Amino acid sequence: MNKLNRSLLLWLVGLELLLPFAPASNAASQPQIRKQPFGATAEKKTVDLYTLTNINGVEAGIMTYGGIVVSLKVPDRKGKLQEVTLGYDSLDGYLKNNTPYFGALIGRYGNRIGKGKFSLGGREFLLATNSGESHLHGGNRGFDKAVWKATEVRGQRSVGLKLDYLSPDGEEGYPGTLSVTAVYMLTNDNELKIDYSATTTKETVVNLTNHAYFNLAGDGNILKHEVMINADRFTPISETFIPTGELRSVKGTPMDFIQPTAIGARINQKDEQLVRGNGYDHNWVLNRKDSSLSLAARVEEPASGRVLEVFTMEPGVQFYTGNFLDGTIKGKGGKVYQQRAGFCLETQHFPDSPNKPNFPSTILKPGQKYATTTVYKFSAK
Ligand code: GLA
C-alpha cells in the first residue's frame, strides 16, 4: 500500500469511528426536549428554558417565566429554518424592558376590561388600569410575569411542556383562587398547540391567550404578509380601544379579510377604526358553527412561502399589527423592532366581555372547567 492509500484508509477508519459521535442534525427520528437554566427573576426565582424539537427540525423555545414562547424556528419553501417570533435573546430582556408581551401567556383576562372594573354576583371588582383608563392583559403582574411550574410531556408524534400556575384569590383584583394549566405541544406536523384549562374556587372571569408576535419573513416589517381572517364581523372600538358592543359587518371596510389581503394594502386608510387603533388592533368575530377547533386565520408571507394557520375553539381573535412598536426595543440578535415588525393573532373571548352582556360569557364558576385549545400550524408554499 503506498503512502497516499494508507493515509486515505486511516482517514476512512477514523471517520467510521467518529460517526456515532457526530453531532446530531436538527432532524431526529423522535421529537426531542431539552432543558437549560435561563437565569432568575428579581425575586431570585430560577427560570428554565425548554427547547422542543420535532422530527423536521422545527424548534420552539418556551421558558417558565410568563410561559413565554422565546423562539420559534420554522422552514421556508426551501426548507431553510428561521426565527419567526419577536423577543429577546436572554431573560434579562424580558425582565428589564417594558416588554409588549412578546410571546407571553396572558391572564387572567387577555385584552381590555373597560375602566378596570366589572360586577359579578352583585359585587364590584376593581382592577389595575394599566392601559389608559382600561385594564389590559391581566394587570400590573399578569400571568406573563409569573414563574410557572413545568413538567415535560412526551407524545407519540409530539413533545411538550405542561405549565401550571396557582393564582391566589384576589390576585390583581380578580376573585377566586384560579388553578391554571397551559400545555404547549410541538407536533411532527409543525404545529404548536396550546391547551389552556382552569378551575376556580369562586365565581370569576377568565380569558387566556398567547401574545406571540410573528414575522414569517424573519425580518423587516409585516406589511406584505397576506392575511385571511375567517370572520364576517368585528367588534368596533371607541377612542379608548374598548368595544362599543356592536358586532359590525366587515363588508366594504378595511377590516374585510375574508379574501387574503396584504396587511399593508389598507392599513393607512383614513378609516375611523384604523385611525382609532393606530392600525389593526381589533377583535374579529369568528365564523363558526360551534366551539370545536376551527380555522380562524391564515397568513402567508410571499417571499419565503411560509404559511401560518391559526385554529381555535375561541369565538374571537385579536389581530394586532405591532402598532405600538416604535424602534425603541432592541430584540433578538440586536434587531431593532420598528412599528409593524410583527403581528399577533390572539385567540380569545371578546374584549370587555365582563361588561358586555351581549358578548359570549367569560364567567367561570366553581365546579366548572375552563378548557380551550389554539393551534398555530406552520407550512410553506
Ligand atoms: C394587545 C393590545 C394592543 C397592545 C398590545 C401590547 O394586543 O390589543 O393594544 O396593548 O397588546 O402592546
- Pick from 197, 164, 204, 125: nearest CA to 366: 204
110 CB near ligand 1 (under 6 Å): no
The CA-CA-CA angle for residues 315, 321, 187, to 5°, reads 60
Rounded to the nearest angstrom, the distance between the alpha carbon of 55 and the centre of ligand 1 is 34
Tell me how long the chain is.
381
Provide the grid cell at 116.
378596570
Rounded to the nearest angstrom, the distance between the alpha carbon of 325 and the centre of ligand 1 is 10
Local structure of 308: helix, strand or coil: strand
Of residues 172, 301, 314, 346, which has the active-site annotation?
346
Of residues 135, 137, 211, 225, which has the active-site annotation?
211
Residue 125: φ, ψ to 5°:
-115, 130
Is residue 346 annotated as part of the catalytic site, yes or no? yes
- Beta pairing class for 336-337 and 344-348: unpaired
Mutate-to-test residue for ligand 1 from 86, 98, 101, highest number of ligand atoms within 8 A of CB: 101
| More confident: 160 or 3 | 160
What's the whole-number average pLDDT of the chain?
94
Q: How many CB atoms lie under 10 A from the CB of residue 34?
A: 13
| More confident: 345 or 17 | 345
Mutate-to-test residue for ligand 1 from 102, 240, 276, 281, highest number of ligand atoms within 8 A of CB: 281
pLDDT given for residue 29 in this prediction = 87
CB 93 within 8 A of CB 99: yes
Provide the grid cell at 114.
373597560
pLDDT given for residue 24 in this prediction = 41
Mutate-to-test residue for ligand 1 from 324, 328, 339, highest number of ligand atoms within 8 A of CB: 324
What tens digit of pLDDT does each residue of 297-356 get? 999 999 999 999 999 999 999 999 999 999 999 999 999 999 999 999 999 999 999 999
344 CB near ligand 1 (under 6 Å): yes
pLDDT given for residue 5 in this prediction = 54
Counting residues of the chain whose pLDDT is more than 70, the rounded percentage is 93
User: DSSP character for 24?
Assistant: P
What tens digit of pLDDT does each residue of 180-233 get? 999 999 999 999 999 999 999 999 999 999 999 999 999 999 999 999 999 999
Task: Say whether pLDDT at 375 is over 50.
Answer: yes
342 CB near ligand 1 (under 6 Å): no
Is residue 226 annotated as part of the catalytic site, yes or no? no
318 CB near ligand 1 (under 6 Å): yes
Task: Say whether pLDDT at 120 is over 50.
Answer: yes
pLDDT band at 16 (very low <50, low <70, confident <90, very high): very low
Residue with the smallest CA separation from ligand 1 atom 9 is 281
101 CB near ligand 1 (under 6 Å): yes
Residue 317: φ, ψ to 5°:
-145, 130
CA contacts within 13 A on the Cβ side of 81: 15
Provide the grid cell at 353.
366581555
Task: Say whether pLDDT at 17 is over 50.
Answer: no
Residue with the smallest CA separation from ligand 1 atom 3 is 281
C-alpha distances (whole Å) from 381 to each of 41, 72, 80, 188, 189 are: 41, 18, 13, 18, 15
pLDDT band at 19 (very low <50, low <70, confident <90, very high): very low
pLDDT given for residue 23 in this prediction = 40
343 CB near ligand 1 (under 6 Å): no
For residue 351, give the ligand 1 atom closest to its CA: 8
User: DSSP character for 131?
Assistant: B
Rounded to the nearest angstrom, the distance between the alpha carbon of 208 and the centre of ligand 1 is 14
Local structure of 85: helix, strand or coil: strand
Mutate-to-test residue for ligand 1 from 145, 211, 278, 320, highest number of ligand atoms within 8 A of CB: 320
Rounded to the nearest angstrom, the distance between the alpha carbon of 318 and the centre of ligand 1 is 9
Rounded to the nearest angstrom, the distance between the alpha carbon of 34 and the centre of ligand 1 is 31
One DSSP character per residue, 254-298 reads TT--SS-EEGGGTTTS--HHHHHHTSSEEEEE---SSSS-EEEEE
pLDDT band at 2 (very low <50, low <70, confident <90, very high): low
pLDDT given for residue 18 in this prediction = 45
Task: Say whether pLDDT at 15 is over 50.
Answer: no
Query: How far is 245 from 113, CA to CA, in rounded Å?
Result: 13
Q: pTM for the full model?
A: 0.92
> 90 burial class (0-12, 13-18, 19+ CB within 10 angstroms)?
middle
Q: Determine the straight-line distance between the first and last CA of the chain, rounded to whole angstroms.
A: 53
329 CB near ligand 1 (under 6 Å): no
